[in-house]
Amino acid sequence: MCGIIGYVGKRNAVPVLLYGLQRLEYRGYDSAGIAVIDKNGDKIIVEKQVGKIKDLQEHLWNRKIEGHTALGHTRWATHGPPTIENAHPHTSQRETISIVHNGIIENYLELKEELIKKGYRFRSETDTEVVAHLFEELYTGDLLETALKVAKKLEGAYAIGVISTYEPDKIVGIKKGSPLIVGFGKDENFIASDIPAVLEYTKDFIVLEDGEIAVVTKDNVEVYNLEGKKLEKKPLHVTWDISVAEKAGYKHFMQKEIHEQPRTIGDTITGFSSSKDEKLFEAIKDADRLYIIACGTSYHAGLVGKFWIEKFARIPVEVDYASEYRYRDRIINNRTVVMGISQSGETADTRFALLDAKKEGAKTIGLVNVVGSSLSRETDYVMYTYCGPEIGVAATKTFTAQLVTLLLFALEAGLKKGTVSKPEYKKLYDELLHIPSKVESILNNEEGIKEIAHKYMNAQDFLFLGRNINYPIALEGALKLKEISYIHAEGYPAGEMKHGPIALIDDKLPVVCVIPQDKYYEKMFSNLQEVKARKGKVVSVATEGDTKVKELSDDVIYIPPASDVLYPILTVVPLQLLSYHIATLLGKDVDQPRNLAKTVTVE
Ligand code: M6R
């Protein structure tokens, strides 16, 4: 999704913007641009390019632009294709105001018609350009006052950054629905879509809430609500280092993040245990039903969570795609709990579905990675994964951390309800503490997995099979592969194969079987035999020492033994590496796959 950065301060803004835009690249984009108020404060210089930030950088080479108040933007096309005209920033007719925007202005056509009638000419197909003209049309002599008027006219979800030659030392940021933070520096301040964009310059931030407007100058930050009332906001200090947003010698962020898992799993176990919210577990004690809603990889974590919560806490769980849950006639009473899982905490589908459920009387829990994100503030209770920023578009370390949190949540809820005994809890907890070193041993086999990737990289389709708690892992394996390699892949519960997908199997189809030695092993083994009998190519993810599976499979990736319920945290790791290596061998851009955005802030 689009990324915003704004700078006001003593240095030349251009390098700061370019650095920030690079940090925002992971969100997904197809064009980028900057708007800089020139040194004399009387002109806005706008430069844009279609393509990558390096294309914009090359374009700016030798242009010698200098200014101290500026905006930058990465655009993920919604209204109109990726062209220079449609790229942001957009400028008002008299070129006195420049705007960057993330989100969708739902009533833009109506506003556009009104503005056209008043003589405004539009240069782009975007919804954003109306905001630039609207600012000019409504300008009162004060940017904040104007922003209040503009915000009242806009419908939809948006984060907007505004600069103007009328008030050249100021940036105004407006937030409703899409994320926007303000960073505090010395003699300089920033706005941005997220923290990594400005982490090089500051670790102190405020996270704007919906309906808030920030007025930012180099020495001062003020926040107002939409009635123009000044608000007191408590800054947030982050402890991460900028290195979390660097590749640290790995070829891609995705590879680095896969390798970070021993640490992020460990940190999440510790983080959960040290910041347990007792009120949350009191609230869950009486729950008669738990809905888990999420999208993509987070949805797959929810599917695994269902097994654990039903097993340990004995609460019936329904897992739904947030975009589906939002528009169905769900049944909610005062004993209903709805948990939204979201790495970013900004996914529009998940947020809005949760807000609706909350309005209808459900208690809401957020499971998020990004501290201070919208979802973390909008839910009644929040649990965090402790991963730091995840930059690769494909979720990896946050998935295993979500699993760890869901397992601990289920055990803790079970303990409080009396459905889990203390020794049972302790046994699994102690075993969980060994999961990081088991993940490490899987990662040590990366070269072996790469060889397997090489063998199957030219396949047209893949099938992923698993049973019970490892069925969602088959879904996740298929999602990872398709999103970064563009190879068609399907995940299926292995027992369901005979009801249809078995027709796909021939000697060209690689079938990845997730077959750890758990309670369902024999059943899964029969499914593996069914694939082999139809000449499918079998790649198995099996428990170390399993020679029976090895004999029947074309290739095996071993994982260390574990208790049945812990296997998903291990079985997913080889699938992440397999997808990663297939995609890189095919020369795909794994960190920024085509058409995808890291944070999907539109419905
Ligand atoms: O930030 P969220 O967890 O809410 O994001 C949900 C999905 O957009 C996300 O998991 C997506 O499917 C990833 N690209 C998967 O790798």
Q: pLDDT digit string (tens) for 340-352? A: 999 999 999 999 9
H or E segment at 173?
strand 171-176
CATH topology of domain 3-243: Glutamine Phosphoribosylpyrophosphate, subunit 1, domain 1 (3.60.20)
| Cβ of 600 below 6 Å from ligand 1 | yes
Residue 206: which of 195, 217, 196, 197 has the closest Cα?
195
| Cβ of 601 below 6 Å from ligand 1 | no
Q: How confident is the model at residue 232 (pLDDT cuts 50, 70, 90)?
A: very high
Question: Could you tell me which CATH class the domain 247-433 is placed in?
Answer: alpha beta
The amino acid occupying position 200 is E
b/e string for 388-403 if b means 16 or more Cβ within 10 A? bbbbbbbbbbbbbbbb
pLDDT score, position 234: 84
> Is the separation of the CB atoms in 39 and 67 below 8 Å?
yes
Question: Order of strands across the sheet with 461-466?
Answer: 488-493, 461-466, 510-515, 537-543, 555-559
pLDDT score, position 245: 64
Distance 117 CA to ligand 1 centre (A): 42
- Residues 6 or more apart whose CB falls under 8 angstroms from that of 434 comprise none
- What mean pLDDT is predicted for residues 509-535? 96
| Cβ of 194 below 6 Å from ligand 1 | no
pLDDT score, position 553: 97
| Cβ of 374 below 6 Å from ligand 1 | no
Higher pLDDT, 179 or 264: 264
Ligand 1 pocket: which of 254, 323, 343 to mutate (most atoms within 8 A of CB): 343
| Highest-confidence segment of 61-70, 371-380, 544-553 | 544-553
Closest C-alpha to ligand 1, atom 11? 296
Q: Is the pLDDT assigned to residue 209 strictly greater than 80?
A: yes
Domain boundaries, the chain: 3-243, 247-433, 443-603
* Ligand 1 atom, smallest distance to 349 CA: 4
Question: Same CATH fold, 247-433 and 3-243?
Answer: no
The amino acid occupying position 461 is D
- What mean pLDDT is predicted for residues 262-282? 90
Kindly list the catalytic residues: 2, 598
Helix axes of 261-274 and 397-417: crossing angle, nearest 10 degrees: 30
Q: Is the pLDDT assigned to residue 244 strictly greater than 80?
A: no
| Cβ of 295 below 6 Å from ligand 1 | yes
Q: How confident is the model at residue 518 (pLDDT cuts 50, 70, 90)?
A: very high
pTM for this predicted structure: 0.77
Q: Is the pLDDT assigned to residue 27 strictly greater than 80?
A: no
In this structure, what are the phi and psi dihedrals at residue 61, rounded to the nearest 5 degrees? -50, 130
* 443-603 is a CATH 3.40.50.10490 domain: yes
Q: Where are the beta strands (DSSP E) in 295-333?
A: 317-321
Higher pLDDT, 139 or 370: 139
Q: Is the pLDDT assigned to residue 145 strictly greater than 90?
A: yes
> How do 317-321 and 289-294 pair as beta strands?
parallel
Ligand 1 pocket: which of 253, 298, 323 to mutate (most atoms within 8 A of CB): 298
